[in-house]
Structure 1
């Protein structure tokens, strides 16, 4: 820091309306009253309006209250892709006062067992496609109630039977499982219809969701997001994004998973607060069907990330779509490249507004103003949010100097679930959360991310932590030691490169990948593997990941 420079804090405009709502359900009830007959969520050609969402979530809450022993504050895991059951279950669980534990459907058994046990979840709603994994880990958890749903369950007859039959018998996507205690989600809704439901009153500081995020230790941590956190971020999104939208008049494409904090807040919560219509895309990797879905109705908004924008822009069928109503494109989850942003705007006529956030901040921290987008930045702090950057000693830095970005605001988490020491490392007594990202606060009020302090790797918007990969790989009997780093990749933003020291010269890359696939979700499996005689280390024996990142070597 220069001798005469003064420490700087960037602060967004005041946040209005936060005291009007004590909980997410207060916002939900207000939206139901305003937008009852407006479409809320659509998936695979089926639409629920806000009145439907109110009715079905009430049925689910009634079943939870009358036919289980679950109490307010108990956790329920929801392990679903983008299907209509997701918002019904989320709002039904919250009506009953439960804490939602969003769970990735791609998780391996090891990852599922850790999250379920750590959260203390007593109930789970799971897609039949991965129920066989649950069967194998159930005894290691505290789960008492298992609810199973199939992909087409929210559709009417006969489409429901057709979808479920194709998924199960033609595509063979539902492995056999035996869960005698399980009940179908449709049955809980049927039973709940005839039962009374009393919306449970939750306070602002009560936990609404446990959102799991990776840690530098390689063990995922439950981020405690309170009702106040989520309500604040809804209102912050309204202040930052809302001026360009018409309440109850937008159709927003939601291809990213709703269990991820990005889409959970933006589509499941913010778009609900504004009475808008989210089109849930169950499998965005199936680009052929994704583009066909986009043809079906004009859309006004698109929520995505860099790799998805890039993939779509490379397709001729996408270029032929009608973009005449598209007025909002939001990018998050990973860095937006200028080349992709420019190409998207050329094809669609709509600029991309990049924002920034993290699980610990519910997630939105900054956003590019729609009418003043500055590519290469993450925008300005949203309402009620303060930002500063600090040096290695924790000293505040002035504008223009790079340091670790810190965030303070009503969207900042309560802490990590049952991890007070980890919480203290990230969140200080004044409410500042350290992001681990290196940033510059610009004179014009915009913020630029220049590097990551942590060794986290971002693959297609998903956080991957090297220690978790290394822990799995070194469990192989032929591996002496291993180190994982991120390398640039045109397709996924970053790819995982693994450096391995082996005691068996015949060990090959494919064998190691197969080993990883047994323990790790697909996006965590290393793309490149390089064998070495030794790994560079510090004097105290810590592997120098940065040196490995900067090194050149043959990959397989």
Structure 2
């Protein structure tokens, strides 16, 4: 029988485990044993339809058990799992398909019909799937469980997660079996995660936080998850008294702080509240402590690196800090992209090295050369400093990334759409503070007033056709001109002052 690092540690220990893995909103559940039985049947389907080691499997569907089952089927067959946000439009999805060149695409019926009209590679197969009813064109129970597990080396790739910068196209981060295992095992120990825990899972499962942090630590510990499609305060209130862990984004905690239903009695069985994917404000941290008696544990990670730092489980959790480097993770603050280290409390570029860090972007040698130093550190693009106690503080982002409710929004993508309009002279998209989501995108355009109303109508249609809802600008504001520096570069900090 073949084996891999992830199969041996995430799956094999649970083959006969009858304990609940996922507990659903209606109170029903699926055991680890039954979940991996489903996953082994999907794996058999993969093999009989000629999926080989290294083939890409693209999955785009609302949050459901099937996304997790296809992920673990990729572990068993050596395929590469490519999860996509189900909110992406066809135009957005088309790029990811052409870039990743998947052999299988799993998506809902409507998206499948749209994709079938595209020019795909001849060996690409599209399969319709429903979050409740599962696979629509075949009966998965007709397939026997796969027994011959693929042998995969620890440095081979298990997943592509797409990220992006403010310039250029989205990049596929190629994550290895060891990247995922090393990080999950560190987090399990660092956060004292154990089988007796009950984790509230309201995050999406197409990015690192909801998929690799939450699910992989569950596999290592054998805990049970309360598995919800999305964040809901009423659902949260229902399960908090029965739970011990919550992994969330700052928006969750803002909404909890604003609710009279959240109090110390409701949360007295909770062991740990974790926040990530966007900065947590010190005010929200303090308000939550006053309300519940719990100090939120903030950590810092990226798609390319998984988790890098965490405030300690035992010890001081500093408001405004993302904590200490995790075991085996090296972090240094440098002058720009150099290797010149800066002293404590001096802001510079955050660079990271460790078994958690990816080794390359897929088919993007230029980005690979720009992203790593010659001694193997990844240049994160985040600015920050390390204080006198060794805690890391994030000061800002080198680029213009907007984080709204934990989702990344890249202004250039929206600006390019706006600038395609013939009557728009120039544009900029900036992140404006929002009490609920942290930030929201706002577009600023320069346009002759006689075309104003037509342009605004046109842009709303363009956004609807080309952007996921969370990317659509909250407002479109009009200025006579955009402020620029002496080199002609648009000054977004001045734009924020003007529109505020």
TM-score, normalised to structure 1, is: 0.83
Judge conservation of contact 2:158–2:177 (CA < 8 Å) in 1: yes
Q: Tell me what 2:300 maps to.
A: 356
Check if 1:431 corresponds to 2:411: no
Where 1:365 maps in the other structure, the secondary structure is strand
Query: What is the TM-score of this pair, normalised by structure 2?
Result: 0.92
Counterpart CA distance in 1 for 2:412 and 2:120 is: 23
Q: Secondary structure at the match of 2:63?
A: coil
Deviation at 1:267, TM superposition (A): 1.6
C-alpha deviation, 1:142, in angstroms: 6.3
Give the whole-Å Cα distance in 1 for the aligned partners of 2:59 and 2:445.
36
Corresponding residue number in structure 1 for 2:142: 191
**What is aligned with 1:95?**
76
CA shift in 2, pair 1:391/1:320, >3 Å: closer
Residue among 37, 41, 44 paired with 1:55: 37
Q: Does 1 or 2 have the higher relative contact order (CA < 8 Å, sep 6+)?
A: 1
Q: Secondary structure at the match of 1:542?
A: coil
**Residue in structure 1 matched with residue 270 of structure 2 by the alignment:** 326
Give the direction of change, closer, same or farther, for the CA distance of 1:349–1:539 in structure 2 (3 Å limit).
closer
Instruction: Give, in angstroms, the shift of residue 511 of structure 1.
Output: 4.4
Q: 2:325 aligns with which of 381, 385, 403?
A: 381
Say if 2:468 is the partner of 1:521. Answer: yes
SS at match of 2:452: coil
| Pairing of 1:463-482 with structure 2 (within 5 A) | 463-482=408-427
Distance in 1 (alpha carbons) for counterparts of 2:69 and 2:18: 16
Match of residue 499 from structure 2: 553
Contact 2:323 2:391 in 1 (8 A): yes
- For residues 351-375 of structure 1, give each alpha carbon's deviation from its aligned partner in whole angstroms, at most 9, with x where no partner exists: 21000000010x1000011222111
Q: 1:320 to 1:408 in 2, by over 3 A?
A: closer
| Counterpart contact for 1:377–1:447, Cα < 8 Å | yes
Q: How does 1:432-511 map to 2 (within 5 A)?
A: 432-503=377-448, 505-508=450-453, 509=456, 511=458
Q: 1:117 & 1:143 partners in 2: Cα distance?
A: 13
Q: Judge conservation of contact 1:484–1:497 (CA < 8 Å) in 2.
A: yes
Cross-structure match for 1:85 = 66
Q: Give the structure 2 partner of residue 7 of structure 1.
A: none
Q: Conserved in 1, the CA contact under 8 Å of 2:423 and 2:451?
A: no
Cα separation, 2, equivalents of 1:228 and 1:413: 9
Runs of 4+ in structure 1 off by over 6 angstroms are: none
Match status 1:239 vs 2:184: no
CA 1:70 to 1:503, structure 2 compared with 1: closer, same or farther past 3 Å? Answer: farther
SS at match of 2:119: helix
C-alpha separation in 2, matches of 1:291 and 1:326: 12
SS where residue 70 of structure 1 aligns? coil
Structure 2 residue ranges without an equivalent (≥5): none
Distance 2:88 2:215 in 1: 21
Structure 1 alignment gaps of length 5 or more:
1-20, 155-182
SS in 1 for 2:313: coil
SS at match of 1:506: helix
Q: CA deviation at 1:504?
A: 5.7
Cα distance change of structure 1 residues 117 and 452 upon mapping to structure 2, 3 Å threshold = same
Conserved? CA contact 2:74–2:158, under 8 Å? no
Aligned to 1:219: 169
1:339 equivalenced with 2:319 (yes/no): no
**Structure 1 residue 205: deviation in Å?**
1.1
Is 2:13 the partner of 1:27? no
SS in 2 for 1:248: coil
Contact map agreement 1:391 1:397 (CA 8 A) in 2: yes
Shift of the alpha carbon at 1:293? 5.0
- 1:278 corresponds to which of 225, 231, 251: 225
Name which of 103, 107, 110 aligns with 2:91.
110
Q: Distance in 2 between matches of 1:440 and 1:472?
A: 36
Q: Tell me how far 1:99 sits from its aligned partner.
A: 0.2
Aligned to 1:147: 127
Deviation at 1:435, TM superposition (A): 1.1
How many residues of Structure 1 are paired with residues of Structure 2 in the alignment? 493
Following superposition, the deviation at residue 271 of structure 1 comes to: 1.4
Question: 1:209 aligns to what SS in structure 2?
Answer: strand
8 Å contact 1:488–1:494 — kept in the other structure?
yes
Superposition deviation, residue 459 in structure 1: 1.1
Cα distance between partner residues in 2 of 1:92 and 1:231? 16
- Give secondary structure in 2 for the equivalent of 1:233: helix
